[in-house]
Amino acid sequence: MNEIKIGLSKKKIIFAFIGSAIFVALGILFILNPEKFVSAVFRNVYFIRIAGFACIIFFSLCLIYISFKFFDKKPGLLINQNGITDNLNFSSIGLIKWSEIIAIRSQQVMSTKFILIDVSNPAAFIPTNSKFKASLMKANLRMYGTPLSITSNSLDYNFDDLEKLLHTEFNKYKTTPNS
């Protein structure tokens, strides 16, 4: 059985943790001393305080998630004869079978490149148990025509090499009748 395991980059996870911690600290400063942050753009002390609470809530959740990912032993991506198992981020859905994949393509928004996986039944991949996750995937579906995307930002793997690898494996297993 030929399996390709692509791990998460511990270095990138640590940078994300540090960045999130800095934003939590800024959120605390916004709440405790909002008048220090009053400027021509942000004139309202209450707005600054609300932004501080939003920072703390969002980036604290990020810190928790990043902490779990740091200790996660599962590979970020597992590619084998069954398909692609995505364990990269919050909106990951697990196994995407080769038989469900109709195309693999790439997209770039600003400086971020990602791989889009077109499937025969996109709605089947949108979860019903998590409204937040479902809304993220529905937004992907509206913007890109598929709810499934993969980025190499947190992987210990080059984007161009990942794209080539996925195309190679897709072509190899898509032609297999048992896929």
Give the per-residue pLDDT at 52: 94
Give the per-residue pLDDT at 31: 94
Binning pLDDT at 50, 70 and 90, where does residue 1 land? Answer: low
Binning pLDDT at 50, 70 and 90, where does residue 164 land? Answer: very high
**pLDDT average, residue stretch 58-87:** 87
**37: its two tokens:** 């942050």
pTM (2 d.p.): 0.72
Residue-range domain boundaries for the chain: 4-71, 77-174
* Structural contact between residues 78 and 85, judged by C-beta atoms closer than 8 angstroms: yes
Burial (Cβ within 10 Å: 0-12, 13-18, ≥19) of residue 58 = middle
Q: Which of 2-6, 22-26, 96-100 comes out lowest in average pLDDT?
A: 2-6
Looking at the DSSP assignment, which residues form a beta bridge with residue 78?
5, 85
Give the per-residue pLDDT at 175: 63
